[in-house]
Structure 1
Amino acid sequence: MRGKWMIAWGMLAAAGAGCGSGRGPVVPVTVGAPVKVARCVLKLPDARGARVARNRLERDISRYMSQRPGRIVYGALDLVTGVSFGQGEHDRDMITASGAKVDIVAALLHSRAGELNEEERELAERMIKESDNKAADAMWSRVGGTDVMTGFYDRIGLRETTPGPGTYWGGTLTSPADRIRLLQVLVRGGGELSSTDRRLVLRLMEQVQPDQAWGVSAAARPGDRVALKNGWTPRPFIRETWAVTSYGRVVGPGRDLLLAVQTDEQPGEEVGIETVEGIARTIGARLDALSPTTTRPCPTNPIA
């Protein structure tokens, strides 16, 4: 028995050593699940899709405007995508009414290098947050009236805005395009307004009291921040109608929308507000569609 075991052991040892066979021992390998390799794709702007979406939006807004009374003009610019559009945005004879109060505060801040006294700061807050007309009368006088406002508009590049005559600041005429230019100055700078001054004005526009926060705010999504100023005034010499305007900034994830909607010859204040908000709501809901993207596979042989 002992001899047989020795022979068997020798054979196993020889096989284990692989002498003369040229092959090593077989080692089992664990095979895992196939590894998924992520497909490389490029996300690119869809220029054609953007044109189609924009044309459709402008057509739908134009149809809506044709069904509403009075004069209606608007302009829009998204600072994130650079998309801009509008209708009648360069009509420069649209009355601002209380919309001019932002202009007055900005002009006084500029002339005083931001150094408003306590009373003037209180007047500025009442003008914008509460749309107080008596406060605006006082600030219009302090800023220097029509002549000074003309120089201020020229300095900040508002070529389509004419200040109201005499003490009638509410008679300032402007265009949606100039309202957007003013917003651009407040957001991005220009016209020698300091960043501190600009932040002050925008902060006041964000704190407009709730009953005056209608208008372009209809373009906002939940969570968006809104800074705006509205204007509304009866037009007794134009068939007892109303002018209703709204302009402002709506900012949130993926957008920084500057929007101005102005109406005139409205049969009533509420009708004008409905029209402004109808346009703003449509733009807000469809803004993202104006900058679509498409995907393509990455090049297989990129150039080094």
Structure 2
Amino acid sequence: MWGSGVRRAVVGVAVGALVPVVGLSGAGTASAAATPQVVCTSAKAGLAAKLKKDIGAALKNRKGTVAIGLHDRKTKTTCELRGGTSYDSASIVKVTVLAALLWDYKKTDRRLTSRETKLAKAMITQSDNAATTTFWRQLGPTKVKKFLAAAKMTKTVPGSGGYWGLTRVNIKDEQRLLALITAKNSVLSDNSRAYILKLMNEVVPSQRWGAPAGAPSSTRIHVKNGWLPRATLGWRVHSLGAFQGGGRDYYLTVLTHGNSNMNYGVATIQAVAKAVHKDLAPSTRASQRYQPTSTPRGVIPAVPEG
């Protein structure tokens, strides 16, 4: 996989000062010896070590529980932290919903109606919950699960009772989803992939925070975020990002919970994102990097009422 004569570097570093992982059942505190590590591999000399160091610095003294997935096709670089830890999806599941819908339609060569096109655009670009509920009900649990199986997202568990925002997700599966969306494969058609990326590129400015922070402006930025407060484990704040063009081709997932408020989670994600973009595109000047233009405002609950 790594090619003839390529030496694969593997680097891990413990992330300090993070709240130990506590399950929904209230499991006990993890021991220091069990502290998860950021693990990076790369075909490019020195890159894994630099990412390990800079991601660790970005997370130093940050509270909450953070999971990270990164893959850069150009340098064959991968980083992962808490790859199998489950989180409530909040609105990042909307990308899965759209992918499942297009996958289902692909089997019968069916196209989205004009009404469905409007709903899909609202769901992704504005994080519209009513549109998501419409598609979730339309698909039903059986079709959603069939798509997850086809996509090999085997650890993703759809929210029950219509609560799509409580779908359980993890880094490994979200990275698989981004891999499907950003490269030719047998699960999604090229037209479906292009359509999903187009909508993720058109997300409204107030929701373009998170993974894009610090990205080279020469890349085409695709993003979908999610945020949700609950009585346990505080705020869930997540971000999916894919970056293509200008000689770049990589994607990043950051999942968090245990945040005191939404903006705290956003700040944690953006600290990680800036470190990643700086290391993957070191020659990009500060003036040529994307900066979110607005601070997230308000709450869009990712769980349907009732």
TM-score (normalised: structure 2): 0.74
Shift of residue 105 of structure 1?
A: 1.0
Letter of the 2:121 counterpart? E
Letter of the 1:245 counterpart? H
Asked if 1:70 corresponds to 2:64, the answer is yes
Alignment of 1:24-39 (within 5 A): none
SS of 1:217's equivalent in the other structure is coil
Q: Distance in 1 between matches of 2:185 and 2:152?
A: 9
Letter of the 2:129 counterpart? N
Residue 87 and residue 237 in structure 1: after superposition, are their counterparts in 2 closer, same or farther (change >3 A)?
Answer: closer
Shift of residue 229 of structure 1?
A: 0.6
Residue 171 and residue 191 in structure 1: after superposition, are their counterparts in 2 closer, same or farther (change >3 A)?
Answer: farther
SS of 2:213's equivalent in the other structure is helix
Letter of the 1:213 counterpart? R
**CA RMSD after TM alignment:** 2.0
Query: Of residues 78, 103, 107 in structure 2, which corresponds to 1:84?
Result: 78
Aligned to 1:271: 264
Letter of the 1:59 counterpart? K
Shift of residue 45 of structure 1?
A: 7.3
Shift of residue 52 of structure 1?
A: 3.8
Q: Is this contact kept in 2: 1:219–1:250, CA < 8 A?
A: no
TM-score (normalised: structure 1): 0.75
Asked if 1:130 corresponds to 2:123, the answer is no
Aligned to 2:277: 284
Asked if 1:166 corresponds to 2:161, the answer is yes
The sequence identity of aligned pairs, in percent, is 31
Shift of residue 47 of structure 1?
A: 6.7
Alignment of 1:103-114 (within 5 A): 103-113=96-106, 114=110
Aligned to 1:211: 206
Letter of the 2:122 counterpart? R
Structure 1, unmatched stretches of 5+, are 1-43, 290-304
Residue 121 and residue 181 in structure 1: after superposition, are their counterparts in 2 closer, same or farther (change >3 A)?
Answer: same
Q: Distance in 1 between matches of 2:229 and 2:45?
A: 39
Q: Is this contact kept in 1: 2:242–2:251, CA < 8 A?
A: yes
Letter of the 2:277 counterpart? G
Query: Of residues 127, 138, 142 in structure 2, which corresponds to 1:142?
Result: 138
Shift of residue 51 of structure 1?
A: 5.2
Aligned to 2:91: 98
Asked if 1:226 corresponds to 2:242, the answer is no
Query: Of residues 227, 238, 251 in structure 2, which corresponds to 1:245?
Result: 238
Q: Distance in 2 between matches of 1:258 and 1:211?
A: 21
SS of 1:229's equivalent in the other structure is strand
Aligned to 2:183: 188
Q: Is this contact kept in 1: 2:197–2:222, CA < 8 A?
A: yes
Q: Is this contact kept in 2: 1:235–1:265, CA < 8 A?
A: no
Q: Is this contact kept in 1: 2:124–2:199, CA < 8 A?
A: yes
SS of 1:218's equivalent in the other structure is coil
Shift of residue 257 of structure 1?
A: 1.1
Q: Is this contact kept in 2: 1:155–1:191, CA < 8 A?
A: no
Larger relative helix fraction? 1
Q: Distance in 1 between matches of 2:74 and 2:61?
A: 31
Q: Distance in 1 between matches of 2:255 and 2:112?
A: 31
Choose between structure 1 and 2 for higher RCO, CA contacts under 8 A separated by at least 6 residues.
1
SS of 1:285's equivalent in the other structure is helix
Structure 2, unmatched stretches of 5+, are 10-42, 283-306
